[in-house]
Structure 1
Amino acid sequence: MKVLVALLLLVPLLRCKAVPLAPFHPLDPRVINCDDPESEEAAAIALNYINAHHPHGYKYALNSIEKIKVLPRRPAGEIFELELDLLETVCHIVNPLPAENCTIRPPTDHVVEGNCDVKLLKLEGNFSVLSIKCYSTPDSAEDITQICPDCPVLALLNDTQVINAVDLALTEYNRGQDSAYVKLLEIGRAQIQHFPDIVSVEFAVVVMNCSAKDAQDHVDDCQLLPKDLAQFGFCNAAVLTKNNITVSCTIYEHQPGVTHHHLIHNHLGRQLVQGFKHHDLRDLHVSVHDTSDSSSAEASVSPPLAIPVVKRAAGAVLDPTIPPLPIGPGPRHPLCPGRIRHFQV
């Protein structure tokens, strides 16, 4: 009886015809070289975004494009994934000069190198930033001493000597001014040269609404200028002793729409507490949600199939019934990393 029931259940299954599945055709990544014009354009868009949104320190310049991958995106467009190598310039973020016009620090000035993983969307010929993740590190002290034994390395931004040097330099600058009083925004860099001890500092300042002369007696009455008149500046100073100070500051013209809100509201008039020698690009972390209709911003990507290689013994005869393997150049790979624009750190 059980055998009969099993046969009755099996008959309908045997009558069913299998429906073949449609072949899956994965979308392959588009091959592009690190120094292609399209790669350069994507890197420039990313770098402009980094320099416009980095809340501290200095602007960066592109040194090389290390990697690039272009992935198809459903329902439209492409995703560009880049790995960028950057170098710190001498322009602080309050400096209105475009980063491409800023000077790269020489290797003897204890350079800072930045590394960024960037994801961009290219849609209808236009790039937009999806995500940026960066970090930066100073060159090793050992490398500096090898090329320049007498060159000072970066000092801690909150070192007592550094803070004292900035205070003395600001006081010296404001004392000799007939114009507006300036106040410290941020210490950018510091180096201490020993024997004799010379403290070299760089720092950003903001212009207040009182004169330097009035501030001598009524500094607490000095306030920030209105946002539509905000002005910033940058200073370089070298302090040997309390009475041996060299300081120069450049005050920039008002830049419409530029307020450096983060620096003013989080650092103006506050003591540095971090024990760092530079302003790390880790402070910049951007992640923008892709609002495409697709369930995934990136299409499923499979690596290209490798062409199989058939080995045969010497003297063996090929079977004429087996079709020959296709002969061709095989899958292309991008030429990366790209050229180094300045120098290798």
Structure 2
Amino acid sequence: MKVFVALLLLVQLLSYKAVRIRPHGPLNLRVIDCDDPESEEAAAVALNYINAHHPHGYKYALNSIEKIKVLPRRPFGEIFMLELDLLETMCHIVNPLPIENCTVRPLTEHVVEGDCEVKLLKLDGKLSVLSSKCHSTPDSAEDVTEICADCPILALLNDTRVINAVDLALAKHNKEHDGAYLRLLEIGRAQIQHLPDSVSVEFAVVVTNCSTKDAQDHVDDCQPLPEDLTQFGFCEAAVTSKDNVRVSCAIYEHQPGVTHRHLIHDHLGGQLPTLALGVKHHDLRHFHHGSVHDKSQSSSAEIPVGLQSPNPVVKRDVGAVLDPAISHPPIDPTPQKFPVCPGRIRHFQV
């Protein structure tokens, strides 16, 4: 009889160890899908933040939401953790066009893909970015030539042929236009094609306080307009020889409050920052803390939704198992719901 009781106790103990129960105190964890409207809203806020803090190169568009985690935050609100897949657009950061109206660069033009991790706070229904970390990578040359054997691939931004092509293109524009003299602000991208031999370049410019006629006599005195009048522009050019240059520039209206000081400080005159030497694109790589600082603690050290079961294994001693006077948390038979991720692809898979 004693052996039977001992076996019964052992079986009950093992069964309680195997049962998954909800810990004391609800965690209020929420599971939402990557294509849920709430996920889309968080991604839109994150994307605007990323583009506003990207110091060089081009704006990025959302391609897909890869992962999302929603965590409770003490004492109020929730933390959203997003992983986003982005694609470079044809809008340079000096272009005032909203990202919704910017065209994603096609695969045949050697696309650049961005990957970002963004942490947001949702409080009183409002989303704000706590931090973001990004990097970007051009598609491989092999993948480009596989879909388009004759398509040019990205060239080094500091390639002498690229710099020469930019100089020729900007000189031609300034010579043929009677307006304000333009100075080179930043080389955005370049592609070199052989047979026929040509260099395609894209570059940002800044409007100076000189006319093109005045610049002929004292070009070194031509400086960007004051910040309350600053104007930027963007040029595209194709150069096959010194005498065969095609260039087109768009000058944007003054944007109140937009100065791009970092561009003027880092790049004015076409000088590439040390970090940009020997690269083919302006990396999206950055880490930013948002304007909102989360000083509170997320519940259970920010337990991620969908990654941790809401019913962890809890060990109970034999006395607790057998004593009917001790209340136990109810067993939750509800199956765990995992988020449907990654979300839909808006443009194309790289």
Per the TM superposition, whether the score is higher than 0.5 is: yes
Contact 1:71 1:299 in 2 (8 A): no
SS at match of 1:227: coil
1:285 aligns with 2:290: no
Alignment of 1:232-243 (within 5 A): 232-243=232-243
Give the aligned partner of residue 318 of structure 2: none
Question: What percent identity do the matched residue pairs reach?
Answer: 72
Which residue identity does 1:344 align to in structure 2? Q
The change in CA–CA distance for 1:291 and 1:51 in structure 2 (over 3 A counts) is closer
Larger Rg: 1
Separation in structure 2 between the aligned mates of residue 217 and residue 277 of structure 1, nearest angstrom? 35
Separation in structure 2 between the aligned mates of residue 231 and residue 327 of structure 1, nearest angstrom? 62
SS at match of 1:175: helix
Separation in structure 2 between the aligned mates of residue 170 and residue 291 of structure 1, nearest angstrom? 44
Gap regions ≥5 residues in structure 1: 1-22, 308-324
CA offsets, 1:81-122, max 9 Å, x none? 000000000000000000110011111010000000000000
Which residue identity does 1:55 align to in structure 2? P
Separation in structure 1 between the aligned mates of residue 197 and residue 298 of structure 2, nearest angstrom? 56
The change in CA–CA distance for 1:91 and 1:287 in structure 2 (over 3 A counts) is same
Gap regions ≥5 residues in structure 2: 1-22, 314-329
Which residue identity does 1:275 align to in structure 2? G
The change in CA–CA distance for 1:293 and 1:212 in structure 2 (over 3 A counts) is closer
Which residue identity does 1:104 align to in structure 2? V
The change in CA–CA distance for 1:333 and 1:171 in structure 2 (over 3 A counts) is same
Separation in structure 1 between the aligned mates of residue 96 and residue 144 of structure 2, nearest angstrom? 30
Give the aligned partner of residue 16 of structure 1: none
Separation in structure 2 between the aligned mates of residue 194 and residue 24 of structure 1, nearest angstrom? 69
Separation in structure 1 between the aligned mates of residue 59 and residue 295 of structure 2, nearest angstrom? 36
Separation in structure 1 between the aligned mates of residue 294 and residue 114 of structure 2, nearest angstrom? 31
Selected match of 1:331 from 331, 336, 347: 336
Give the aligned partner of residue 344 of structure 1: 349
Separation in structure 2 between the aligned mates of residue 150 and residue 164 of structure 1, nearest angstrom? 23
Contact 1:84 1:116 in 2 (8 A): yes
Alignment of 1:2-17 (within 5 A): none
Give the aligned partner of residue 321 of structure 1: none
SS at match of 1:34: coil
Alignment of 1:178-327 (within 5 A): 178-272=178-272, 273=274, 274-282=277-285, 284-288=286-290, 291=293, 294=296, 296-297=297-298, 299-300=300-301, 301=303, 303-305=309-311
Deviation at 1:329, TM superposition (A): 5.3
Q: Give the TM-score normalised by structure 2.
A: 0.83
Deviation at 1:306, TM superposition (A): 6.9
The change in CA–CA distance for 1:129 and 1:188 in structure 2 (over 3 A counts) is same
Contact 2:186 2:268 in 1 (8 A): yes
Deviation at 1:299, TM superposition (A): 3.7
Separation in structure 1 between the aligned mates of residue 278 and residue 172 of structure 2, nearest angstrom? 26
Deviation at 1:270, TM superposition (A): 4.9
Contact 2:120 2:127 in 1 (8 A): yes
Give the aligned partner of residue 106 of structure 1: 106
CA offsets, 1:41-95, max 9 Å, x none? 0000000011111100000100000000000000100000000000000000000
Alignment of 1:33-72 (within 5 A): 33-72=33-72
CA RMSD in angstroms comes to 2.0
Separation in structure 1 between the aligned mates of residue 300 and residue 78 of structure 2, nearest angstrom? 9
Separation in structure 2 between the aligned mates of residue 159 and residue 42 of structure 1, nearest angstrom? 40
The change in CA–CA distance for 1:293 and 1:144 in structure 2 (over 3 A counts) is closer
Contact 1:290 1:297 in 2 (8 A): no
CA offsets, 1:175-203, max 9 Å, x none? 00100000000000000001221000000
Contact 1:64 1:86 in 2 (8 A): yes
Aligned residues: 305
The change in CA–CA distance for 1:271 and 1:330 in structure 2 (over 3 A counts) is same
Which residue identity does 2:162 align to in structure 1? V
Kindly indicate whether structure 1 or structure 2 has the higher relative contact order, using CA contacts under 8 Å at least 6 residues apart: 2
Deviation at 1:304, TM superposition (A): 1.7
Deviates more, 1:272-281 or 1:41-50: 272-281
Deviation at 1:224, TM superposition (A): 1.5
Separation in structure 2 between the aligned mates of residue 37 and residue 269 of structure 1, nearest angstrom? 45
SS at match of 1:281: coil
